[in-house]
Chain A
Amino acid sequence: MSYKIAAIGDLDTVVGFGLAGVAQTHVHRNADETVAKLTEIFSDPEIGLVLITHRVSEELKKEIRKLMSEKRHTLLVLRIPDKTGFTPKEDELKEIIKRTVGADIVLNKERS
């Protein structure tokens, strides 16, 4: 199945991915607007990949987590750094590893 792509973030990210042909774009201005857009995107059956900048996902952590838990199987969500290369210290994936495996041994060594 072919799906469309969506991008949410600051203006630069949106313009860049817009040029690259991403179908749905949204510039994050305030939380309410973005949450409404996110809900719309997550319930759209034509979307297969959502790119969200780390800054937005940090700001709307709770809402995104809720949406993620209810999403369908063929919808991928990826958090990407924005122009400044901003990535949060507490990585979501790292948190999960810590919880499931009990320690984050390999990952930390390789990343730093």
Chain B
Amino acid sequence: MAKIITVAPTRMELIKLRKRVALAQKGHDLLREKMDALILEFFNILNKINAHRSKSVEQLMNAHKALSKCLAVVGTVETIQAMRESKRESKVDVSTRFIMGVQVPIAEAKIERGILERGYSFYNTASAIDRATKEFELALLSLSELAELEAAAYELAHELDKTKRRVNALEFIIIPTIRKNLKFIVMRLDEMERENFTRLKRIKAILEERK
């Protein structure tokens, strides 16, 4: 880094820089701690996602199986008709909570309609369609939880990225630059002192000679 040093070599500046480097160091340590905590939290959530994902996907596959049966038994047109008639009232509750100062969502799916209030006519449909609906409702519940976990992982990863960037900036750019400036000032001040010392010596010698 061949950067031109622009600080004035004064004692004032030295004190200021010393304060700054202490502050930067403190900030760096704190951010590093935060990063460690975030990583811990992040891996926690990743483990949860792994456990949950296989379960959700299995449920979804079961649902698709039931739907395939339904399509075969009831017929494609009738099934699509039933879908059009079905009450579209499934909801998902979304709120947020904070993990390590990061806002992450909480989601919970709610299926409020009862088995008799699904909306399609019972006259034209068979029990296969009820089964398929039930399986898909279960899949929806499971998937909403997975969505919550994944969203949390994304948010945490984003924050982790930001924190890491800050830690690196402090560690590899800001603190070294301040340290270099400090060293420059200390050297310069020492040099000035030595200059002064020899000057005084010289003056003293001249004065002695004159006597």
B96:A20 contact, CB within 8 angstroms = no
| Chain A CB within 10 A, most for which of B83, B109, B151 | B83
- State whether A15 and B107 are in contact (beta carbons under 8 Å apart), knowing that A2-B93, A96-B157, A100-B160 are contacts in the complex: no
Q: How far is the CB of A75 from chain B (nearest CB, A)?
A: 8
Number of B residues near A (Cβ < 8 Å) is 60
A73 at the interface (CB under 8 A from B): yes
B146-174 vs A, Cβ < 8 Å mask (1 yes, 0 no): 11101101100100110010000000000
Which of the 9-residue segments B10-18, B25-33, B135-143, B176-184 touches chain A? B135-143
Q: A7: nearest residue on chain B (CB-CB)?
A: B140
Q: How far is the CA of A96 from the CA of B47 in the complex (A)?
A: 15
Q: A residues bordering B, Cβ < 8 Å?
A: 1-5, 12, 14-24, 48-49, 51, 73-78, 80-81, 83, 85, 93, 96-97, 99-101, 106-107, 110-111
Q: B residues bordering A, Cβ < 8 Å?
A: 39, 42-43, 46-47, 49-50, 57, 60-61, 63-64, 67-68, 71, 79-80, 82-84, 86-96, 103, 105, 107, 109-111, 113, 118, 120, 129, 132-133, 136-137, 139-140, 143-144, 146-148, 150-151, 153-154, 157, 160-161, 164
